[in-house]
A and B are shown apart, each in its own frame.
Chain A
């Protein structure tokens, strides 16, 4: 605790303002999604929701294959979330607890890859995807997303601090293989952290824009982000429609957030900075 016991009133004020800033754009999005363009561009601004929600939502569904895009996003983000949770735990385990030649160098390489801005190389990435015949497919989004240097770093930290060498040694004496140790001991121990990693990966993949934008071309392959963009595409912009789509695309994450938000907060904070 800091010096004084009492929390100053202005602390709450600042926090309230910060919260307002965080939530207001989303709220305003909802307001426009329930009214229309004319209301959105009126001054003084309208901040009370209207009754146009279902009409606009219906329009969203008929303009782009929206349900399909949500499903696509779920598949991509879900697979990446689960994939990262498992693969990064596995690799993190190897780096944290297994001894093998080149371990430190290889880990350094992993860390260094975090500095490589792979977004730049989209042009050759696109060419490779073409060669594989993966253009306009979901695997083009999923497979590259499974490699997360950050995730490996994160899981390694957690494993290093929660899995003691004694347990490891005891298991070895009992004749356990690395895989058994991982699956039966290590993974269960760090499941909370892996879960959070999976969540972060999920959110990131859900919101990813540039790569899906380049790779996906048929509307039924769109992810939610690209579908929102597609709503914006007619020469005249219908704000009500665009906001409705935006709101609907954010809704699944909000729902998820209500359930696991607290865990996300805890997990992020429990992060890799104990080591």
Chain B
């Protein structure tokens, strides 16, 4: 390899050739490399999203007529108690699944961060097991474990004298059930993300703090957490986006009323409501309006989350 910045062969033809090489093909190369993403996302992500905004303005029967009705779907939505119910369910389940998950992940990551921990790989791998299991399968398993009469959980509760809880049929119970499923699935993955960041913190900082008399909790609060700030923000934002769209678990958990997740829609999330209206009730337009509302909700909450969590400042 040449070690000096020697100019290229300076014959006129070579220079032209170099210019050509530098110009069109090479200049377009980067665009070609990123094109697949934009093309695919454009067609399957952006266009549908824009189209959702469009369909929401219609009374759109998938096998019938499409009638333009302007913003009627939205005014109907705002007055629809089922919408607010679904919105409330969605937010509740999101909080119930995100907060414990991130907290558990923080604690576990901290525990796993010990250099002398035995069987480290075992702990780490087992935490990923929920992540690789199929959602459909685990929902059935969990639904059975939460069953009122024959479920494992109620049996355990019975051992300590707590009466059988009808998880499926109560609002809070069904939320807890679904939040448990979601938390179980994701907490291992989140733990590993936090662990990675923790491991990037030099030991010397901890040692210095220990010398200064700081106990475990102080170290955790003043060293670990601030350094984890970027990854915590990342996980908060991604679990917001994911958590507000929960669909599979509510739908599969309720065998008898899959689309409404219970007789009083106790665990119907907005995405499930969207699906119910669009594919169950043949009202694509109304379903699209729900989609728009959900999109707005996600953007608002994710942005708020980002702004709030960006306030975790490193402490001195």
Instruction: Determine whether A and B are in direct contact in the complex, meaning some CB atoms lie less than 8 angstroms apart.
Output: yes
In Å, the complex CA distance between A91 and B30 comes to 8
Q: Are A178 and B152 in contact (CB under 8 A)?
A: no
Q: Are B37 and A152 within 8 A (Cβ)?
A: yes
Which of chain A's residues 250-275 have a Cβ closer than 8 Å to chain B? 250, 253-254, 256-257, 261-262, 264-265, 268-271, 273-274
CA distance A7 to B119 in the complex (A): 12
Q: Does A127 contact B (CB under 8 A)?
A: yes
Expressed in whole angstroms, the minimum distance between the Cβ of A261 and any Cβ of chain B is 5
Majority-rule SS of B interface residues: helix
Contact B134 A249 (CB under 8 A): yes
Give chain A's interface secondary structure class: helix
Interface pair A146/B29, CB less than 8 Å apart: no
Closest to A242 in B: B140
Q: Chain B nearest CB: distance from A107 CB in Å?
A: 9
Interface string of A206-228 (1 = CB under 8 A from B): 11011000100000000011101
Chain A contacts for B238, CB-based, 8 A:
114
A87 & B37 in contact (Cβ 8 Å cutoff) = yes
Chain B, 122-159, CB within 8 A of any chain A CB: 122-138, 140-142, 144-145, 147, 149-150, 152, 155
Task: Return the chain B residue nearest A14 by Cβ.
Answer: B111
CA distance A10 to B98 in the complex (A): 25
B278 close to A (CB within 8 Å): yes
- Considering only residues 218-249 of chain B, those with a C-beta below 8 Å from chain A are 219, 230-231, 234, 237-238, 241, 244-245, 247-248
B41 partner residues in chain A, CB cutoff 8 A: 113, 147, 149
A237 within 8 A of B: yes
Please determine whether B118 and A249 come into contact, CB atoms closer than 8 angstroms.
Answer: no
Query: How far apart sit A244 and B206, CA to CA, in the bound complex (Å)?
Result: 49
Q: Using known A-B contacts A3-B219, A118-B45, determine if residue A270 contacts B196 with beta carbons closer than 8 Å.
A: yes
Instruction: Tell me the nearest residue of chain B to A210, going by C-beta.
Output: B247
Complex Cα spacing A91 to B34, Å: 5
User: Is B313 at the interface (CB under 8 A from chain A)?
Assistant: no
Chain B residues within 8 Å of chain A by Cβ, number: 113
Q: CB within 8 A of B128: which of A6, A113, A261?
A: A261
Q: How far is the CA of A14 from the CA of B110 in the complex (A)?
A: 12
Tell me which residues across on chain B come within 8 A of A268, comparing CB atoms: 128, 189, 192-193, 196
Contacts of B288 in A (CB 8 A): 123-124
> How near does chain B come to A93, taking the closest CB pair, in angstroms?
7
- Is B29 a contact of A178 with CB atoms below 8 Å? yes
Contact with A along B258-281 (1 / 0, CB 8 A): 000000000000010011001100
From residue B55, how far is it (CB to closest CB) to chain A in Å? 6
Interface size class of A (residues with CB under 8 A): 35 or more
CA distance A250 to B147 in the complex (A): 23
Q: Does A15 contact B (CB under 8 A)?
A: yes
Known contacts A94-B30, A147-B44, A261-B128; A124/B51 CB under 8 A: yes
- Contact partners of A60 in chain B: CB under 8 A: none
- Whether A254 lies near B132 (C-beta < 8 A) is yes
Q: Would you call B45 and A257 a contact (CB within 8 A)?
A: no
User: Is B95 located at the chain interface by the 8 A CB criterion?
Assistant: no
Whether A265 touches B124, Cβ cut-off 8 Å, given contacts A118-B49, A124-B48, A228-B134, is yes
Determine whether A243 belongs to the interface, using a CB cutoff of 8 Å to chain B.
Answer: yes
Q: Which one of A87, A116, A203, A249 lies within 8 Å of B131 (CB-CB)?
A: A203
**How far does the Cβ of A92 sit from chain B's closest Cβ, in whole Å?**
9
B18 to chain A, nearest CB (A): 8
Q: Is B36 a contact of A246 with CB atoms below 8 Å?
A: no
A238-B29 Cα distance, complex, nearest whole Å:
56
CB of A49 to closest CB in B, whole Å: 15
B63 at the interface (CB under 8 A from A): no
Of all chain B residues, which has the CB nearest A101? B27
- B8-56 contacts to A (CB < 8 Å): 8, 21, 25-27, 29-31, 33-34, 36-38, 40-41, 43-49, 51-52, 54-55
Sample of 4 more A-B contacts, CB < 8 Å, known A2-B210, A29-B138, A147-B45: A106-B38, A124-B55, A229-B252, A268-B128
23 residue pairs bridging A and B, Cβ less than 8 Å apart:
A11-B111, A12-B118, A19-B123, A22-B184, A23-B129, A93-B33, A95-B34, A98-B30, A106-B34, A123-B284, A128-B47, A144-B44, A148-B37, A152-B34, A182-B33, A207-B134, A209-B136, A243-B137, A257-B125, A265-B121, A265-B125, A268-B196, A270-B196
Interface residues in chain B, defined as those with a beta carbon under 8 Å from any beta carbon in chain A: 1-2, 5-6, 8, 21, 25-27, 29-31, 33-34, 36-38, 40-41, 43-49, 51-52, 54-55, 104, 107-108, 111-118, 121-138, 140-142, 144-145, 147, 149-150, 152, 155, 184, 188-189, 192-193, 195-197, 199-200, 203, 206-207, 209-210, 215-216, 219, 230-231, 234, 237-238, 241, 244-245, 247-248, 252, 255, 271, 274-275, 278-279, 284, 287-288, 291, 294-295, 298-299, 302
